[in-house]
C-alpha cells in the first residue's frame, strides 16, 4: 500500500455528491479532510454512502454539511473566508527568528535585532541558540535587553527563548526576570530516573530519542515532574529504523498525555505546530515561519538551512532589506517547494492542510529542496504523527487536551 493508502475494493463515486476532500484509511475508519482543515472520521460504509451521494434524511448529512463536505449544500462564503485565513494571503511575515549566538560579535548582534524588528507581523519570537552561556554572555545579555526595548517601542509582543547549556544562577535569574523561556536539548535513553533531579531548570525541551529510549509514558511523567511545559520529541535518526522507533515512542507519549490530560501541563509541540493548519505555523518552515541568523550576520531561510547548506543563505543583516527577501530566487524556490499544492503526493494527502516538510530539511536529507515525498522519511514521520493524533480525535479526552493547548480543530 502506498503512503496515501488505498481501498482493496474501491468505492463508487457519484459526480456532484462529495465536495473537495481527500481520504485516508486509518485502521477501520476513513478519515476525510478538506484543504481548509475541516475533517470527519467515518466508517467504511459511511464513506461509501458519502461518495455515492447522501440524502438529507441520512444521519450523516447534518455533520458533513456543517463541515463543508457536501457539494450540493456547500457554504461558499465560509469556505472563502477559511481559505483566506489559512492561505498565504493572510501571511504577515516570519514570526520565529533563530539567532546562532555562538561567536557572534556585538555589532552583528545589534544589526540582527534591528533586522528582526523590521519584519512585520503581530508578534515576534527570538530564539537564542548557544553552547555555553558563559562564553557568549555579554552578547546574550545585550540581545535580551535590546529586544525587550525594541518590543516595547514597537508595541509588539516579543517572546524570548534561550536554548543552550550551562548557566550560573545569576544568569538564569536575569533571563527569568526578563521573561526569557529556557529551552534545553535532551537525549532520552532507556527509562527515566524519576528520583534524581535533572541538572537544569527549563520550560521547553527538544528531546532526541536514542535507540534505547523506552517507556514513553514514564518519560511523559518525568517531563511533568520536573516542570517542562513544552516538549518536542525528535527521532534518533531520520531513516526507516529511526522513524519507526520514533513513531512507536510518540504514540505512547501522546497516549499518556491524553490519559493525564487534566493533570499534565506538558504540551506536545508537534501536535500544536501541525494542527495550526497554516504553513507559517509549522515549526521550522523556511521563510514562512522562520528565519535564522548566523554568527557572521548571514540570514538563512531556517535554522536547518543555517546549520546545513549555504545555498539557502538569503543575505547579510545590514545589507539585506526585509522586503527584498520575497524577490530572492532562494525564497521563491523554498516557498514553491513548501506548498502542498506543488507536491504530487501532498496535493492528494489527507493531511495537506496541516503538514509540509520544510524545504531545507528536504535539502538536508534528500539533497534538494523539493525532495521526493514518497521516499522521504521526514514525510513518513510527520504523517505518522498525524495518524496518531487523528486516530484519537473521536476521543473526548483528546479534544479536551487539544482545547487546553489552544488548538482549534472545529
Is 139 a residue that touches another protein (CB under 8 A)?
Answer: yes
CA nearest 238: which of 344, 342, 382, 410? 382
* Sign of the dihedral through C-alpha 113, 116, 117, 122: negative
Is 353 a residue that touches another protein (CB under 8 A)?
Answer: no
Phi, psi values for residue 391, rounded to 5°: -65, -20
Is 72 a residue that touches another protein (CB under 8 A)?
Answer: yes
Q: Residue 163, SS3? A: strand
| Cα–Cα dist 100/24, whole Å | 40
Count interface residues toward another protein (CB under 8 A). Answer: 78
- Radius of gyration of the chain measured on its C-alpha atoms: 22
Q: Is the Cβ of residue 36 or residue 401 nearer to another protein in the bound state?
A: 36
Cell numbers 546549520 correspond to 307
Residues 269 to 328 in contact with another protein, rule: CB under 8 A? 321-324, 326-327
- With CB under 8 A as the contact rule, which of the stretches 80-88, 94-102, 274-282, 309-317 interacts with another protein? 80-88
- With CB under 8 A as the contact rule, which of the stretches 96-104, 144-152, 282-290, 362-370 interacts with another protein? 144-152
Q: How far is the CB of 400 from another protein (least distance, A)?
A: 30
- With CB under 8 A as the contact rule, which of the stretches 96-104, 196-204, 252-260, 361-369 interacts with another protein? 196-204
- With CB under 8 A as the contact rule, which of the stretches 133-141, 227-235, 279-287, 361-369 interacts with another protein? 133-141
Residues 387 to 406 in contact with another protein, rule: CB under 8 A? none
Residues 85 to 104 in contact with another protein, rule: CB under 8 A? 87, 89-90
Residues 214 to 273 in contact with another protein, rule: CB under 8 A? none
- Name the pairing type of β-strands 29-33 and 22-26: antiparallel
Is 410 a residue that touches another protein (CB under 8 A)?
Answer: no
* Sign of the dihedral through C-alpha 156, 161, 162, 167: positive
Asked if 158 contacts 148 with a C-beta cutoff of 8 angstroms, the reply is yes
Enter the DSSP assignment of 196: S
**How many other C-beta atoms lie within 10 A of the C-beta of residue 127?**
21
Is 15 a residue that touches another protein (CB under 8 A)?
Answer: yes
Is 330 a residue that touches another protein (CB under 8 A)?
Answer: no
CA nearest 274: which of 238, 233, 239? 233
Q: How far is the CB of 405 from another protein (least distance, A)?
A: 27
- With CB under 8 A as the contact rule, which of the stretches 137-145, 249-257, 301-309, 392-400 interacts with another protein? 137-145
Is 149 a residue that touches another protein (CB under 8 A)?
Answer: yes
Cell numbers 526595548 correspond to 149
Which of 10, 27, 122, 157 lies at the binding interface for another protein (CB under 8 A)? 10
Asked if 119 contacts 98 with a C-beta cutoff of 8 angstroms, the reply is no
| Cα–Cα dist 217/254, whole Å | 8
Residues 17 to 46 in contact with another protein, rule: CB under 8 A? 18-22, 35
- With CB under 8 A as the contact rule, which of the stretches 56-64, 204-212, 328-336, 372-380 interacts with another protein? 372-380
| Cα–Cα dist 9/364, whole Å | 39
Is 54 a residue that touches another protein (CB under 8 A)?
Answer: no
Is 55 a residue that touches another protein (CB under 8 A)?
Answer: no
Is 119 a residue that touches another protein (CB under 8 A)?
Answer: yes
Amino acid at each position: 500500500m502506498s503512503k496515501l493508502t488505498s481501498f482493496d475494493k474501491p468505492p463508487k463515486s457519484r459526480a456532484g455528491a462529495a465536495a473537495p476532500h481527500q481520504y485516508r484509511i486509518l485502521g477501520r475508519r476513513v478519515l476525510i479532510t478538506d484543504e481548509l482543515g475541516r475533517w470527519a472520521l467515518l466508517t467504511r460504509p459511511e464513506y461509501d454512502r458519502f461518495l455515492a451521494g447522501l440524502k438529507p434524511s441520512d444521519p450523516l448529512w447534518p455533520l458533513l454539511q456543517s463541515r463543508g463536505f457536501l457539494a450540493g449544500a456547500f457554504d461558499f462564503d465560509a469556505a472563502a473566508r477559511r481559505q483566506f485565513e489559512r492561505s498565504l494571503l493572510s501571511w504577515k511575515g516570519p514570526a520565529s527568528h533563530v539567532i546562532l549566538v555562538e561567536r557572534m560579535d556585538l555589532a552583528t548582534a545589534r544589526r540582527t535585532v534591528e533586522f528582526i524588528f523590521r519584519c512585520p507581523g503581530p508578534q515576534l519570537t527570538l530564539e537564542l541558540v548557544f553552547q555555553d552561556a558563559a562564553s557568549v554572555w555579554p552578547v546574550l545579555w545585550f540581545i535580551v535587553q535590546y529586544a525587550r526595548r525594541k518590543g516595547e517601542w514597537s508595541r509588539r509582543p516579543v517572546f524570548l527563548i534561550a536554548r543552550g547549556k550551562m548557566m550560573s544562577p545569576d544568569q538564569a535569574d536575569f533571563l527569568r526576570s526578563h521573561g526569557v523561556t529556557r529551552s534545553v536539548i535532551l537525549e532520552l535513553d532507556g527509562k527515566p530516573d524519576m528520583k534524581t533531579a535533572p541538572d537544569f531548570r527549563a520550560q521547553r525541551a527538544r528531546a532526541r530519542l536514542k535507540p534505547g529510549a523506552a517507556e514513553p509514558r514514564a518519560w511523559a511523567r518525568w517531563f511533568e515532574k520536573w516542570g517542562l511545559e513544552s516538549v518536542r520529541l525528535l527521532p534518533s535518526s531520520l531513516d526507516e529504523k529511526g522513524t519507526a522507533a520514533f513513531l512507536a515512542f510518540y504514540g505512547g507519549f501522546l497516549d499518556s498525555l491524553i490519559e493525564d490530560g487534566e493533570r499534565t501541563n506538558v504540551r506536545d509541540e508537534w501536535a500544536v505546530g501541525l494542527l495550526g493548519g497554516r504553513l507559517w505555523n509549522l515549526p521550522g518552515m523556511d521563510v514562512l515561519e522562520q528565519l535564522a541568523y548566523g554568527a557572521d550576520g548571514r540570514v538563512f531561510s531556517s535554522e536547518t538551512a543555517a546549520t546545513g547548506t549555504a545555498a539557502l543563505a538569503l543575505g547579510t543583516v545590514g545589507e539585506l532589506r526585509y522586503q527584498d527577501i520575497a524577490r530572492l530566487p532562494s525564497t521563491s524556490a523554498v516557498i514553491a517547494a513548501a506548498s502542498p499544492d506543488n507536491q504530487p503526493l501532498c496535493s492528494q494527502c489527507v493531511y495537506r492542510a496541516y503538514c509540509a516538510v520544510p524545504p531545507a530539511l528536504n535539502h538536508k536529507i534528500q539533497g534538494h529542496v523539493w525532495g521526493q515525498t514518497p521516499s522521504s522519511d521526514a514525510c513518513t514521520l510527520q504523517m505518522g504523527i498525524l495518524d496518531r493524533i487523528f486516530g484519537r480525535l473521536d476521543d473526548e479526552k483528546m479534544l479536551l487536551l487539544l482545547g487546553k493547548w489552544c488548538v482549534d480543530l472545529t
